Amino acid sequence: MSDSLWFDSLTRAQLWRELTEVVEAHLTHVDEQGVAPPLDEAELRALLRPYTFANPRSPHELLRELDQALRRHQVHTAHRRYFGLFNPAPSVMGIAADTLVATLNPQLAAFSHSPLAVAMEHHLIAAFGMRFGLPPERCDGVFTGGGSEANLTAVCVALAHRWPALAERGLRALPADPVCYVSAEAHHSILKAARITGLGTAAVRQVPVDEALRLDLSRLRQLIAEDRAQGRAPFLLVGTVGTTGTGVIDPLPALAEIAAAEQLWFHVDAAWGGAVQLSARWQHLLAGIERADSITFDAHKWLSVPMGAGMLLTRHRAALAQAFALEASYMPKEGDPSAPDPFARSLQWSRRFIGLKVFMTLAATGWGGYARVVDDAVALGDELRRRLRAAGWRLVNETPLPVVCFTRAGEDWSLAQHQALVNAVLRSGAAWISTITTSRGQPAIRAGIANFRTTAEDLDALVTALERAR
Ligand SMILES: *Cc1c(COP(=O)(O)O)cnc(C)c1O
């Protein structure tokens, strides 16, 4: 037995004490440091050089040393003034759940190894499917590492659904070239999925957007008609609910109509925007999502569980098995599984219990807790828009969601000018923001609000930091 993999109970007890101190110190003091420390690659190399792994080190020392080092060298997304991508502070119950998962280490490949864990994930899939309006008797889904894996899963499932022979004979057996349609503002994981599945990126039509940066329906109809005329095989239409860059919601009801008329699989990428469905006040913005064949939703975004926790939901109960089912004689088969084995209906094989951090956080906060998170962030987004306009900024995106893209009113700044200003704000440590160029070519500064810890006071700090940097 290796002592340094298990240690004795006294060493362990001390280590857990130290660990909980580290966790609590971080949660208590995260706002007191700069949001984003400056990048110093020489320092990173110097930090890593002593780690040759030649001699065992004290676990206490390692914990202390690496906690301090990591804190100095990361963007603090849990900081109240991280106005970034959708990486909120991790929920406390999520942190507790992930610790429990690492400790119990249930194997989620096979139902029989971890029946309760698999059943809990099913329970959540059914609960979220219901919230999105998918038919309960047919709704199904899987947990994924994130939205990107969920989108890849959707592409695999849509292909297998349309061409069942594909599993055996591959793309080369198809009678025509498959094509899919996404908005030019969509997340690039769809392009990656096209590469991985062998479709190739040329199979992805990045449909131009209208003035409001939504997928342009007339261009979509035109592209589908052109592809059909050329003998290609349209199979998948992706609508985005909350684009990553600009927070725009594609016109879902119209997309659902087109998908139905053209017999395309209708996938909705709601990676972060899907949380809006949990707010009675704002869920009307997502009308049409209930017509999706599949939905991508990330719990590690607006729902604030630690990374990675994505979901792929579908209204077709047999679809996942059709894409992924196979038999392996070494996989455990005892019992009569009431839930099918995850490994035979998803991309991953051995995998961690992703669902527990979602389950425990949701159970502790309730749907109402999440509705408040969404409502508060939406209100703060409006407030930020108001304050920016008053300070001489012009908004370049149009969305009720809390992603605010802006440029200097009455001026024509280049991307470099926006970036210079952003860099100055980052150097000040006052806030984290970024730049973006819309698919219509407009550069802007982007500030997103996803953190449930952000307040109106933080908006003031951001607007002040922008003024100072200018
Ligand atoms: C973040 C995001 C993704 C990718 O999700 P990951 O969890 O980062 O893999 C996909 N689609 C949209 C709209 C996103 O915002």
**What is the pLDDT tens value at each position of the chain, 470 positions in all?**
568 999 999 999 999 999 999 999 999 999 998 899 888 899 999 999 999 999 999 999 999 999 999 999 999 999 999 999 999 999 999 999 999 999 999 999 998 899 999 999 999 999 999 999 999 999 999 999 999 999 999 999 999 999 999 989 999 889 899 999 999 999 999 999 999 999 999 999 999 999 999 999 999 999 999 999 999 999 999 999 999 999 999 999 999 999 999 999 999 999 999 999 999 999 999 999 999 999 999 999 999 999 999 999 999 999 999 999 888 888 877 665 566 889 999 999 999 999 999 999 999 999 999 999 999 999 999 999 999 999 999 999 999 999 999 999 999 999 999 999 999 999 999 999 999 999 999 999 999 999 999 999 999 999 999 999 98
Kindly give the pairing relationship between strand 140-144 and strand 403-408. unpaired
C-alpha of residue 401 to centroid of ligand 1, in Å: 16
Ligand 1 geometric centre to CA of 174 (Å): 30
Ligand 1 atom with minimal separation from the 244 CA: 15
CA-nearest residue for atom 5, ligand 1, is 147
Residues with Cβ within 6 A of ligand 1? Answer: 146-148, 151, 187, 189, 240, 244, 269, 271-272, 298, 310
- Cα 457 to ligand 1 centre (Å): 28
Residues 320, 272: Cα–Cα separation, whole Å: 23
Biggest alpha carbon–alpha carbon distance for the chain: 73
271: amino acid identity, one letter: A
Nearest to 443 by CA among 467, 412, 469, 470: 412
Report which ligand 1 atom has the smallest distance to the Cα of 241.
13
Strand segments (E) across 340-414: 393-395, 403-408
| Tokens matching residue 284 | 């009307």
Q: Give 48 Cα–ligand 1 centroid separation in angstroms.
A: 31
Specify the DSSP class assigned to residue 287. T
Quote the ligand 1 centre to 296 CA distance (angstroms). Answer: 9
Task: Name 90's Cβ contacts closer than 8 Å, sequence gap at least 6.
Answer: 78, 304, 305, 306, 307
Q: First-to-last CA distance in the chain?
A: 62
Q: How many alpha carbons lie under 13 Å from residue 73 in its C-beta half-sphere? A: 16
Alpha helices in 36-91 (DSSP H): 41-48, 59-72
Closest C-alpha to 271, from 251, 243, 294: 243
pLDDT of residue 204: 98
Residues 6+ apart with CB under 8 A from 380: 402, 449, 454, 455, 456, 459
- Going through 50-122 in order, the beta strands assigned E by DSSP cover none
**Which residue, judged by its Cα, is nearest atom 3 of ligand 1?**
147
Q: Which atom of ligand 1 is nearest to the CA of 242?
A: 13
* pTM higher than the cut 0.85: yes
| Closest-lying ligand 1 atom to the alpha carbon of residue 298 | 7
Closest-lying ligand 1 atom to the alpha carbon of residue 149: 9
| 144 contacts: CB under 8 Å, gap ≥ 6 | 150, 153, 308, 310, 311, 312, 346, 347, 348, 354
| The pLDDT of residue 181 | 98
pLDDT (0 to 100) of residue 461: 95
* Residue 307 alpha carbon, nearest atom of ligand 1: 7
CA of 349 to the centre of ligand 1 (A): 22
Q: What is the pLDDT of residue 331?
A: 82
Q: For ligand 1, what atom is nearest to the CA of residue 243?
A: 13
**Contacts for 205 with CB less than 8 Å, ≥ 6 apart:** 179, 180, 181, 182, 223, 227
Ligand 1 centroid, distance to 185 Cα (angstroms): 12
Token look-up 């025509």 returns 176
How far, in Å, from the CA of 268 to the mean position of ligand 1? 12
Instruction: Kindly give the distance from the C-alpha atom of residue 131 to the centroid of ligand 1, in angstroms, as a whole number.
Output: 20
Query: Ligand 1, residues 143, 296, 305, 358: which to mutate, most atoms within 8 A of Cβ?
Result: 296
Please report, for residues 12, 104, 191, 397, the alpha-carbon distance to residue 59 in angstroms, rounded to integers and kept in the order given. 9, 21, 43, 50
For residue 354, the CA-to-ligand 1 centroid distance in Å is 16
Per-residue pLDDT, 288:
98
| Mutational pocket test of ligand 1: of 85, 86, 149, 187, the residue with most ligand atoms within 8 Å of the beta carbon | 187
Helix (H, G, I), strand (E, B) or coil at 398: coil
Query: How far, in Å, is the centroid of ligand 1 from the Cα of 269?
Result: 8
Tell which one of 191, 301, 401 to mutate to probe ligand 1, the residue whose CB is within 8 A of the most ligand atoms.
301
Ligand 1, atom 10, residue with closest C-alpha: 147
CA 246 to ligand 1 centroid distance, Å: 13
Q: Which of 85, 189, 248, 347 to mutate to test the pocket of ligand 1 (most atoms within 8 A of CB)?
A: 189
